[in-house]
Chains A and B, each alone.
Chain A
Amino acid sequence: MSEKPVKVLARNVHKSFGRNEVLRGVDMEVRAGEVACIVGPSGGGKSTFLRCINHLEKIDAGQLSVDGELIGYTQRGGKLYEMHDKEVAAQRRSIGMVFQRFNLFPHMTAAENVMSGPVVVRGDNKKQARERAIELLGRVGLGDRGDSYPMQLSGGQQQRVAIARALAMDPDLMLFDEPTSALDPELVGEVLDVMRRLAEVGMTMIVVTHEMGFAREVGDLLAFMDQGVVAEMGVPREILANPQSKRFQDFLGKVL
């Protein structure tokens, strides 16, 4: 496993909002094809870290790279240059993101949502993009709901459309920000199933989640983030069976 190339590398990542220091030196390494789950108490910096990976938030210090390329900066002759918005947008294209609140575009049908990235960003042909959108919707089990508006879909269905929308840009890294937290309990399973299948075909995924079962079964890596740092990290079964720190033990005691 360790011979696979490093996909995401974080070294000493810091981020503050005003005086509130949210990330205080995060280190993480995720290799291609791995599924990394991040768990931890709320306010621990999980979502912020995830948002830093595709530059929705700008980091204050440290290094964050995807495929060996710094996110948001270019390095030339030992000096860092801030990237132009267009270059950042280009970097984001190969990174898919799924949000807790789905964030589907309500004025577009499911198929139009899925097409929007390829058509607007890449300038793809509309007809082909539509066919591809229907195919992607089929992959998340919604092949017949292409003409439905998000409002007409259940939460689980909306989140699956959101996953299809992210996949439409052909990303090789998927970020999931608590994808099942806003769902009714009976709808969680259908979304996790889609994610599990995505993991099986080798997608690199970083998942912020409270679903410990998913983390244990699907995850190759589990990170416990607390107070702005990765407090513990390792193979899920091992560290869940043998949590080292008191805080991780406490956290597990609450969620399991």
Chain B
Amino acid sequence: MKRLLAITLGILTAIGGFVDIGDLVANSETGARFGMSLAWVVVVGVIGICVYAEMSGRIGAVSHRAVFDLVRERLGPRVGLANLVGSYLVTLLTLSAEIGGVALALELASSVNYLLWVPVAAFAIWAALWRIKFETLERVFGLLGLCLVIFIIALVQLGPDWGDLGRQAASFQPTEGENWATYGFFGVSLFAAAMTPYEVFFFSSGAVEEGWTRKDLITERLNVFVGFPLGGILSLAVMGCAAVTFLPVGASVSDLGQTALPVPVALGRLGLVIVILGFFAATFGAALETGLSAGYTVAQYFGWQWGKMVPPRRAARFHTVVLVSVLLGLILLLTTIDPVQLTEYSLVFSAVVLPLTYLPILIVANDRDYLGDQVNGPFANILGVSYLIIIVVAAIAAIPLMIITGVGA
């Protein structure tokens, strides 16, 4: 019974934890401009993150070492350093975007300008990382993030023409008024939102933090293969709500208030409260994860003691990196850059860094020294390599598409 509870909690946490500010922004912007015609990218992305998260969780559980830890060993200190710089900078950018997301959610709830919330949010995030147990953080914010299920309920309540949505999803081409460049740009952004780099660092480090072993592999796989796809369905619901509400009237989405709007339209004030709570939980949880990931990448490269499993004074360098990262994220937001725009940039640069993140995972997952008999089977490798090709294509296309479309204008 206890085991069933643990598994359920794990799945629920994965669903709630899957969606972050990048998913919210990318899915609603895409839905408003392209309807469901880019839905296939979300499906492709979810499969990809499942394949790689399973690998990185397996690495953490079997070798008791986190993925980034192993990058330097396997690929050498120079490649490891290049990986570190790229991964850390993108994680920092994402952290900043998530803090911005928290501030935006608070603005929606209070009508107080988001800039005033930014320092509050940053402090709260740091304080939670400082004091609250890892498991508690995961559970609380993962479960609260389930509030976003309201999007599925709202979509059904809006009573869309499902056949129409299906036709859009199967059309695989830009909608009227859009071209292939913007289609490609939003496709890459959606893909990057589904396969966010910090997710895998976090997952394998989390496996080590929670002391997973081989026995936990089944739980780990359930979390990934059930939780993430359900999270993907949440993303598609966000896209669908935007498609039904904004596409027919020619409006495009550019802020979080618009992203939320379909929900009160369908479900009234209670729906509105739930969706704002969901935004808060999803972005706060993601900020916690990216903050930790920023610390993990640096500490694991240099071999420093990392993690929340020891008191902070025993991992001073790790906690300093986390603190400095949150501060840098805060400073970036205080330049008054639009948080939604910041999110869009973080997605593009995430796409560029994806190969750096995922190639080492594939290599380590095939290494018998670390995983013994739990190395990748042929099926996992076929999927892994196929996705690596897709990832490289997305990485190469990302910046040119950003320039050509003027960040999706």
Question: A and B bound?
Answer: no
Show the binding face of B for A, using Cβ within 8 Å.
Answer: none
State the A residues within 8 Å of B (CB).
Answer: none
